[in-house]
Structure 1
Amino acid sequence: MMKTLIITGASRGIGAATARLAAENGYAVAVNYNRNQAAALSVVEDIHSAGGTAEAICADISTEKGVLHLFSETDRLLQGQLAGLVNNAGILETQMRLEDMDIKRLERIFTANITGQFLCAREAVKRMSTRHGGSGGSIVNVSSLAAKTGAPNEYLDYAASKAALDALTIGLSKEVAAEGIRVNGVRPAFIYTDIHADGGEPGRVDRIKESIPMKRGGTPQEVAEAIVWLLSDKASYTTGSFIDLAGGR
């Protein structure tokens, strides 16, 4: 029976690269998306063309209803035993100082970037934990270097949500370690994805790359390689840990 993997926000960027690489490594992949169906179907087609197994599943993971739908559809469509979850979905809003942020923005950021990840982790644990009859598995949370820097004058709210995700990673890793589940995180930064356009500066990586020790931005594929390693048995004694992918920053 194939191992099933859920990747949230998998229609673009890091999520899409991870979906393709995970499928190459033998996972049946649930490619979650919220609005961009065409992009999600393109990822699925790429996987099918390479001989892999994948399904595109539309679900808004910022709502409990959406999370429950994602997991039930994965159970129905892929039918394999859930072996992994990549909490990749997240949003970024226009660069702004704290004094200019309104409550609606804060609610959007925290609901999409941390509440949904808690709910997805909850549903994954219910399926993977040996306490509940599962066979174990792996959760990888896609955080950000902003969790450590705070992203002042730009994305303070985003940074705080990612710091909360780091806390979830550490705490949950200890909570379920004896139940066959490993929980780790990656902290990418300065990666060439279109999330920077969501923040109002699509060329942000090129603007700051000279301040990065490696003098370049990173690629979604480089982040995907770290995620798939953490999911795999090659990382079998690794839990509660993080890989920073930020070119030395």
Structure 2
Amino acid sequence: MVESNARPVAIVTGGSRGIGAAIARRLAGDGWDLVLTYRTDRDAADRIATECRAVGADAVAVAADLGGASDDAVEAPFAAARERFGRLDALVNNASTTTRYAPLADTPPDEIRTTIDLDYTAVVLGARLAVREFTSQERLGVIVNISSGAATIGSPGEYAHYAGAKAAVDAFTMGLGKEVGPLGIRVVAVAPGLVDTDLHASTGDPDRAARMAADIPLRRTAEAGEIADAVAWLLSDEAAYVTATTLRVAGGR
């Protein structure tokens, strides 16, 4: 392990695009050094790491297929944080997927398993390692889990299994937050609503966000940077008394 950094260090899973990339940019500007995970698109992850370095942060991209939730994949970013920075102050469990918008009966079992493995199982395994890392360093730390507004509305006909996984994230956030609060570790979640990212195009419905904006009380989708703002606040000293809860950032929906 290298000598410990003076700057705080965060792992951001799924940091190569969308909300994860926005979180990385925001934290880099706030003075954090970063470990960013990606599954396949190394070029995209390297671009975000380069953007972070351009504002004075140190950032490294680490390949980790968290959807398989293998021990090696989950451990990879923690090993990188120890080796490069000698410390860890936060984990942002952002990596997420949903493969298509369809009724459950029309969704193949392998896609259901992939979604639940990444959206819930990997969150639990990553949080477990973060708690172990914080306690081994005798360091106060924060875990931010990215949930979804779908957790409370169910998303029938689109991805009920994804909504169920995110509801599990909310329950896990509350339970773990209460468990590790006495250690000085905070566990919180952010539940975004409809966010304007490339997720919609990747699931075959590129116009979904614009079409659904009329159903949102604020009459617009969120920008990824607005979710990053919420994450940055929860990681800050201003939120030092906030734990075991989920902050909904969904425009009133």
> Which TM-score tier does this pair reach, normalised by the shorter chain?
over 0.9
Residue in structure 2 matched with residue 100 of structure 1 by the alignment: 106
Give a deviation string over 1:68-112, Cα, whole Å, max 9, x none.
122112211222x21100000011111111222232122111111
Which secondary structure state, in structure 2, belongs to the residue aligned with residue 32 of structure 1?
strand
Q: Does 1:72 align with 2:76?
A: no
| In 2: Cα distance, 1:18 partner to 1:201 partner | 24
Q: Does 1:215 align with 2:211?
A: no
The one of 90, 93, 113 aligned to 1:87: 93
1:140–1:227 contact (8 Å) kept in structure 2: yes
The letter of the residue matching 1:21 is R
Gapped regions of structure 1 (runs ≥ 5): none
| In 1: Cα distance, 2:104 partner to 2:55 partner | 46
Residue in structure 2 matched with residue 170 of structure 1 by the alignment: 174
Residue in structure 2 matched with residue 135 of structure 1 by the alignment: 139
Q: More deviation in 44-53 or 141-150?
A: 44-53
| In 1: Cα distance, 2:247 partner to 2:194 partner | 14
2:170–2:245 contact (8 Å) kept in structure 1: no
| In 2: Cα distance, 1:35 partner to 1:216 partner | 31
Which secondary structure state, in structure 2, belongs to the residue aligned with residue 30 of structure 1?
strand
| In 2: Cα distance, 1:155 partner to 1:235 partner | 32
Residue in structure 2 matched with residue 12 of structure 1 by the alignment: 17
**Offset of residue 185 of structure 1:** 0.6
The letter of the residue matching 1:55 is V
Residue in structure 2 matched with residue 241 of structure 1 by the alignment: 245
TM-score by length of 2: 0.94
Residue in structure 2 matched with residue 35 of structure 1 by the alignment: 40
| In 2: Cα distance, 1:242 partner to 1:111 partner | 21
Q: More deviation in 239-248 or 151-160?
A: 239-248
Runs of 4+ in 1 over 3 A off after TM superposition: none
| In 2: Cα distance, 1:85 partner to 1:203 partner | 32
The one of 182, 188, 200 aligned to 2:186: 182
1:85–1:124 contact (8 Å) kept in structure 2: yes
Q: Does 1:202 align with 2:209?
A: no
The one of 113, 126, 132 aligned to 1:126: 132
Taking only aligned residues, the RMSD between alpha carbons, in angstroms, comes to 1.1
Aligned length: 246
| In 1: Cα distance, 2:156 partner to 2:203 partner | 14
**Offset of residue 32 of structure 1:** 1.0
Q: Does 1:153 align with 2:160?
A: no
The letter of the residue matching 2:129 is E
Which secondary structure state, in structure 2, belongs to the residue aligned with residue 161 of structure 1?
helix
Identity of aligned residues (%): 39
1:64–1:116 contact (8 Å) kept in structure 2: no
The letter of the residue matching 2:102 is M
Residue in structure 1 matched with residue 3 of structure 2 by the alignment: none
| In 1: Cα distance, 2:108 partner to 2:37 partner | 29
2:36–2:77 contact (8 Å) kept in structure 1: no
The one of 91, 96, 119 aligned to 1:113: 119
Which secondary structure state, in structure 2, belongs to the residue aligned with residue 82 of structure 1?
coil
| In 2: Cα distance, 1:156 partner to 1:112 partner | 15
**Offset of residue 20 of structure 1:** 1.0
Which secondary structure state, in structure 1, belongs to the residue aligned with residue 100 of structure 2?
coil
| In 1: Cα distance, 2:37 partner to 2:126 partner | 12
**Offset of residue 133 of structure 1:** 4.4
Gapped regions of structure 2 (runs ≥ 5): 1-5
The letter of the residue matching 1:222 is E
Give a deviation string over 1:129-187, Cα, whole Å, max 9, x none.
3xx44211101100000000010000111101101111110100001001011001111
